[in-house]
Amino acid sequence: MRKYIYDAIKTKSKAAMRLKANGNVFVTSSGYAYDACKAASPIHKVSAMQKHKKEKDQGKQYYHYHPMLKWSKNKNARKQMHVHCWFLK
């Protein structure tokens, strides 16, 4: 079973490499999305689960996580990377 959906991505490490290379990843569950984002984050932190705005004609509800970056000298200040790890819930 493919856990990480995008071309031939079948492992967390390949999904993390794609995220680090500024590519979005679609996965089969929130757990796989979380793991891939955590592996791609230089500080091993993940954003809160975010819900994508659903359009009227869109059948399914999409959610995503972002890997997090440290962006300030303040140890608690974090910023989201621009890439997404999408999944259906």
Q: Calculate the alpha carbon distances from 62 to 15, 21, 78, 83 in Å.
A: 18, 22, 24, 15
* HSE-up (13 A, CA, CB side) for residue 68: 17
Whole-number pLDDT of residue 4: 55
pLDDT at 1 over 60: no
Taking the C-alpha atoms of residue 33 and residue 28, their distance in angstroms, rounded to an integer, is: 8
pLDDT in tens, 23-77: 888 888 888 899 999 999 988 999 999 998 777 776 778 899 999 987 666 766 7
Whole-number pLDDT of residue 56: 72
